[in-house]
Amino acid sequence: MKITFMGAGSTVFAKNVLGDSMLCDVLSESEICLYDIDGARLKESCMMLDNINR
């Protein structure tokens, strides 16, 4: 399953919603895709999610 989150550059959104999604067993095999028009903020969210995923 592929899940796309629009507006993922908000680190509060990413930490709360995406972090919970990554920890859910049902979604463990899903591909999570992030999209935001602000590339710098999106990169920050990606780095934070990488840390959660470790």
- Encode the chain (54 residues) as per-residue pLDDT tens digits: 898 989 888 888 888 887 788 788 888 788 888 899 999 999 998 898 888 777
Location of structure tokens 């903020």: 41
* Domain ranges, residue 11: 2-53
**Which letter does DSSP use for residue 37 in this model?**
S
- Per-residue confidence (pLDDT) for residue 19, from 0 to 100: 75
Task: Give the global pTM.
Answer: 0.71
**Which letter does DSSP use for residue 34 in this model?**
E
- Per-residue confidence (pLDDT) for residue 32, from 0 to 100: 84
- Per-residue confidence (pLDDT) for residue 36, from 0 to 100: 92
- Per-residue confidence (pLDDT) for residue 50, from 0 to 100: 84
Cβ atoms of residues 14 and 43 within 8 Å: no
* Distance between CA atoms of residues 43 and 36, nearest Å: 10
Our count of domains for the chain comes to 1
